[in-house]
């Protein structure tokens, strides 16, 4: 009896293995069929064999989900009405299945944001409310912030928060917190891409040609930085005047006592008041001093520098600004800090000091071309003061154009603005007829005052 039972189990085991093998063989065959159809962009023919594999062997191969996304995306694009709604919901379901069966290849933040963006883009046909869509993005962001990096989705996420605030469904403090959170997230992503890009730029500037793969990576990094730059502007535009001194001061005054031991809250409050130029209010003084006492940092020292600037104590302000730079250990953030300080000095007409900080910002983050444009603007603004003859005054514009052209070279997202600036400066510089008249083609002109540089007259 025992022998018969053992033989029965063996037969069942062999039968099951044969069944699994046959199933695997069938799935392999159909996977090969739908994959070839997808490669040929014949998505309609791919649909049925793909569905067969998806239903029978969901863990068989990640190609089920990679190709399935293409098949359903095509279906969404070509369908309307109820059929389109069904395809959209099925794509969301497909991404959920992918996360279930291939979790290591399906980052929650990335695919969650992707699903929410799909729902948002089709919100009219799906009858989705702003509350539902915001909850979707927020859940994805909270589940896996690290991989929630898509620029468009970050903007949509924040945009929905603003819409809910405008509708009276989110309080001002939640809006400001979300703004700071998203801006910090974008800055982190910009930092990551900038640091990778800087390595390649430094290699090029050292005279080493990039490999094909490195050139592809360079273009990839630049495209993402351009996208983040665009959404940063979009986020600030969306925020608009919703964060102004009339709103910020009462809000932060009301919440100061409850948060005076919360370094993050103090830093964000001081930062927002600085950003919106609410620094004349006594509350800014309270925020900055509480923040610096609680957690001395680059940011708190920078804000103290702003206070000294407001009091007309320029030397003390510079001292705090330099202290802020010394306290900052991250080169990307240190570059941004140098640029912010330089912009403040530039606005006061302290061009020589500003240029020093701009140059340091460039050294620390060579892929950001904005400091070049700022230096160019300062040169152009000083043309009448830094030349001893009319010709030499106008020659300063050649220096300005050179700086603008450097911005375009290292920072493609600025190419349009940089080209426009350079063309404007060159139109104000001496022309060929002027060079012919002075017989100074190819000579070197020394530019005095704070600029202290030389420029070579173009040869004609």
Q: Which domain holds residue 433?
A: 361-460
For residue 382, being part of any structural domain is answered with yes
Beta bridge partners of residue 456, listed in sequence order: 444
For residue 160, being part of any structural domain is answered with no
Residue from 172, 183, 181 nearest 255 by CA: 172
pLDDT for 452 beyond 80: yes
254 DSSP assignment: H
For residue 124, being part of any structural domain is answered with no
> What pLDDT is recorded for position 23?
58
> What pLDDT is recorded for position 259?
95
For residue 248, being part of any structural domain is answered with no
For residue 158, being part of any structural domain is answered with no
Q: Give the C-alpha distances (Å, rounded to integers) separating 57 from 25, 42, 98.
A: 11, 22, 12
For residue 433, being part of any structural domain is answered with yes
413 DSSP assignment: G
Residue 125's pLDDT band, with cuts at 50, 70 and 90, is: very high
Per residue in 228-254, pLDDT (tens digit) is 999 999 999 999 889 899 999 999 999
Cut 0.95: pTM above it: no
Residue from 168, 150, 226 nearest 412 by CA: 226
Per residue in 61-73, pLDDT (tens digit) is 999 999 999 999 9
Distance CA 339, CA 386 (A): 24
Exposed (0-12), middle (13-18) or buried (19+): which is 226, by Cβ within 10 Å? Answer: middle
For residue 398, being part of any structural domain is answered with yes
Q: Give per-residue burial for 254-291: e unless 16+ CB within 10 Å, then b.
A: eebeebbebbebbbbbbbbbbebebbeeebbbbbbbbb
> What pLDDT is recorded for position 24?
81
Distance CA 105, CA 368 (A): 33
Q: Looking up tokens 């240190």, which residue turns up?
A: 334
pLDDT-above-70 percentage for the chain: 95
For residue 231, being part of any structural domain is answered with no
Per residue in 296-339, pLDDT (tens digit) is 999 999 999 999 998 889 899 999 999 999 999 999 999 999 99
* Mean pLDDT over each residue of the chain, to the nearest integer: 92
Structural domain total, the chain = 1
Per residue in 194-221, pLDDT (tens digit) is 999 999 999 998 899 999 999 999 999 9
Residue 15's pLDDT band, with cuts at 50, 70 and 90, is: very low
Q: Taking residues 397-405, what's their average pLDDT?
A: 97
Q: Give the C-alpha distances (Å, rounded to integers) separating 422 from 169, 174, 398, 460.
A: 47, 43, 9, 20
- Note the helical H segments in 150-211: 151-166, 172-205
């Amino acid at each position: 009896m025992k022998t018969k039972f053992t033989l029965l189990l063996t037969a069942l085991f062999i039968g099951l293995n044969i069944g699994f093998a046959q199933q695997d063989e069938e799935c392999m065959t159909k996977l090969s069929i739908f994959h070839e159809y997808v490669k040929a962009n014949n998505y309609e023919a791919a649909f049925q064999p793909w569905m067969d594999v998806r239903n029978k062997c969901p863990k068989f191969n990640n190609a089920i989900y990679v190709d399935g996304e293409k098949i359903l995306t095509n279906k969404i694009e070509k369908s309307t009405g109820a059929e389109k709604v069904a395809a959209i919901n099925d794509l969301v379901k497909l991404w959920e299945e992918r996360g279930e069966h291939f979790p290591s290849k399906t980052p929650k933040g990335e695919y969650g944001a992707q699903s929410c963006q799909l729902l948002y883009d089709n919100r009219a046909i799906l009858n989705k409310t702003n509350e539902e869509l915001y909850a979707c993005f927020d859940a994805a962001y909270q589940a896996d912030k690290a991989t929630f990096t898509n620029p468009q989705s970050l903007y949509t996420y924040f945009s929905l928060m603003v819409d809910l605030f405008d509708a009276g469904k989110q309080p001002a403090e939640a809006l400001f917190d979300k703004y700071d959170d998203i801006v910090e997230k974008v800055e982190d992503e910009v930092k990551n891409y900038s640091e990778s890009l800087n390595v390649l730029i430094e290699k090029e500037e050292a005279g080493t040609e990039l490999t094909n793969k490195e050139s592809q990576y360079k273009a990839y990094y630049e495209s993402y930085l351009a996208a983040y730059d665009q959404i940063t502007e979009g986020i600030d535009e969306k925020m608009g005047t919703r964060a102004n001194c009339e709103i910020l001061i009462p809000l932060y005054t009301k919440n100061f006592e409850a948060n005076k031991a919360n370094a993050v809250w103090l830093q964000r409050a001081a930062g927002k008041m600085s950003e919106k130029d609410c620094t004349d209010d006594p509350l800014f003084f309270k925020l900055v001093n509480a923040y610096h006492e609680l957690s001395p940092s680059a940011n708190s020292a920078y804000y103290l520098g702003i206070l000294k600037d407001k009091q007309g104590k320029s030397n003390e302000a510079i001292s705090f600004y330099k202290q802020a730079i010394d306290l900052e250990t991250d080169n990307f953030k240190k570059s941004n800090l140098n640029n912010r300080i330089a912009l403040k000095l530039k606005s006061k007409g302290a061009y020589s000091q500003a240029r020093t900080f701009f140059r340091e910002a460039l050294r620390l983050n060579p892929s950001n071309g904005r400091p070049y444009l700022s230096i160019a603007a300062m040169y152009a603004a000083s043309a009448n003061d830094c030349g001893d003859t009319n010709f030499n005054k106008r020659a300063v514009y050649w220096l300005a154009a050179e700086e603008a052209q450097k911005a375009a070279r290292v920072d493609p997202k600025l190419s349009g603005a940089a080209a426009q600036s350079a063309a404007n400066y060159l139109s104000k510089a001496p022309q060929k007829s002027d060079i012919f008249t002075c017989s100074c083609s190819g000579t070197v002109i020394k530019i005095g005052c704070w600029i202290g540089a030389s420029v070579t007259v173009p040869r004609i």
